[in-house]
A and B are shown apart, each in its own frame.
Chain A
């Protein structure tokens, strides 16, 4: 494959042997991944699997050696500005600025993505409309509920018309109604714009319902890759081949995960740090 061919179709994201260590902790340990243009790809795994670290490598937040991560063909090690112009990023923590109104929060991102002044107000309004926040846009973000903050962050990410939307645990700490609301807005925007979505979550049911393809991550590596239905049917077949009952119900994605992660899933995942950051997010959501 020639990466240099000018008109070649690049994958939205490719990671080849991505590795990242924090001191002693190998947070990502040889991650191979490619996300095709236009798909909704779910990176799944328990707390501590390395999802956030992988995302932070892809978004240029963490430095990685050349050749490990490409976004639409641009190497994140060399071509940071080009990569960032293609990205919309919603981090794991609720990250809207509580001291600004919803509209000001979105306008800031229009500014730092160089939206010209004559277009800025209209673009900001469209982003707010896309997430149903026009009415609350004049209020301080500190008055928003968790679900509203997530939608506001989605608007912040959308205002620059990214080709790749990266969402890190967009529904963590939200109640079921807010979770559905966030996903419906993601889907509607994706249907209207055709953008690629890379999302992480540890809720398997969400991934099953909303993702075109998923990668199950554990211990810093992808352990299984495919469409949710492929993975579930695959496990069903393996179980029947091992002599399981022929009429057993289709296994869930959670079952698939338990199989590939093997034992140790419960005691290995979620160290102190993960629990703390999850709690912090949950607290901010209120």
Chain B
């Protein structure tokens, strides 16, 4: 070729030391089928933790709202005793509700992240790896769970500082972690499902804002089911957030709860959410 390349040549790129890249010559062994899903979940959770370790601002800004709920709403309603909470101060009653609410908010807006990743090409690239769609969604769901769990820890600490008497039984706290992760897995799949339907970030943002408040107020997070009007009791009955709050109250405060039912509902909801979001992921990638 007659025309000389205009740009200077980088020295190191000309020749690669063959010993220096020996590992890149053989492809890794595929994992056995049953080990693939946990491996992908670990990979997605690791990414989430790495991101959080680089940028903690979201963790702090997201702590403001639950702190205000507990500080203002919780303390005021404890004083005026407007909401009947047998045997415990209102702020204690409220704390598990706020933990569940702040975890749900994070999960609901997780679908926005997946649209952003689609727009940035990150999602496309992950879809060209040996990762079935359901494994990718499960990984994302649990990554949202891990993010929510860290948020829950922050809210628990705030509640403890405000004098809420919570359990420190490690087994029960483990249960709390499981409940938060399952709940957030469901809510993140709900938002990823909506993402697969509306396909754009702005529309999903609108949907997110439209559903979070009804989910929150239509649950037992702020007040017992017994004081709700009949129609709201029905909403609360089909709202997974109620089961999450019920379990958290039982575990953290020792109030009577239906733990088996709560775990069952949350697990089934998460599984259905994963199935729905996985089936719509193709639409998002197209």
Contacts and interface: CB of A to CB of B under 8 A. Distances in A.
A114 B37 CA distance: 11
Which of B54, B55, B129 has most A Cβ within 10 Å? Answer: B129
Nearest to A252: B3
Interface in B40-78: 40, 42-43, 46-47, 50-51, 54-55
A115 B43 contact: no
Interface string B108-134: 000000000000111011111111100
B5 A126 contact: no
Contacts of B132: 81
B23 A100 contact: no
B283 to A, nearest CB: 11
Interface of A: 56, 59-63, 81, 84-87, 89-101, 104, 108-116, 119, 122-123, 126-127, 129-130, 132, 140, 156, 158-163, 176-177, 179-181, 184-185, 187-189, 191-193, 208-209
A116 B27 CA distance: 11
Nearest to A99: B51
Contact of A126 (B23, B51, B126, B282): B23
Nearest to B35: A114
B79 interface: no
Contacts of A176: 6-7
B206 interface: no
Interface string B6-30: 1111101111101011111111111
B120 to A, nearest CB: 6
B285 interface: yes
B128 A61 contact: yes
Given A85-B27, A130-B24, A132-B10, A113 B130 contact: yes
A86 B42 CA distance: 23
Contact of B131 (A62, A110, A112, A119): A112
Interface residues of B, number: 51
A191 B14 CA distance: 10
B39 interface: yes
A159 B26 CA distance: 10
B27 A160 contact: yes
Contacts of B5: 180, 209
B24 A184 contact: no
B1 interface: yes
B50 A104 contact: yes
Given A97-B47, A123-B24, 11 more contacts: A85-B27, A91-B124, A96-B122, A100-B51, A104-B50, A113-B130, A129-B20, A161-B26, A162-B27, A177-B8, A181-B7
Which of B25, B30, B124 has most A Cβ within 10 Å? Answer: B124
Contacts of B10: 132, 180-181, 184
Leading 10 A-B pairs by shortest Cβ distance: A95-B121, A93-B121, A180-B7, A111-B43, A184-B13, A192-B16, A161-B27, A112-B129, A114-B31, A89-B128
B15 A85 contact: no
Contacts of B122: 95-97
B45 to A, nearest CB: 11
Contacts, number: 155
8 contacts: A108-B43, A112-B40, A112-B129, A161-B28, A176-B6, A180-B10, A181-B10, A184-B9
B14 A184 contact: yes
Contacts of B50: 100-101, 104
B160 to A, nearest CB: 30
Contacts of A130: 16, 20-21, 24
A189 B46 contact: no
Contacts of B127: 60-61
Contact of A129 (B8, B21, B42): B21
Contact of A114 (B9, B14, B30, B54): B30
Contacts of B12: 132
Interface in B272-286: 282, 285-286
B147 to A, nearest CB: 13
B121 A91 contact: yes
A189 B27 CA distance: 15
Contacts of A163: 27
B286 A122 contact: no
Contacts of B31: 114
Contacts of A110: 28
Interface in B120-175: 120-122, 124-132
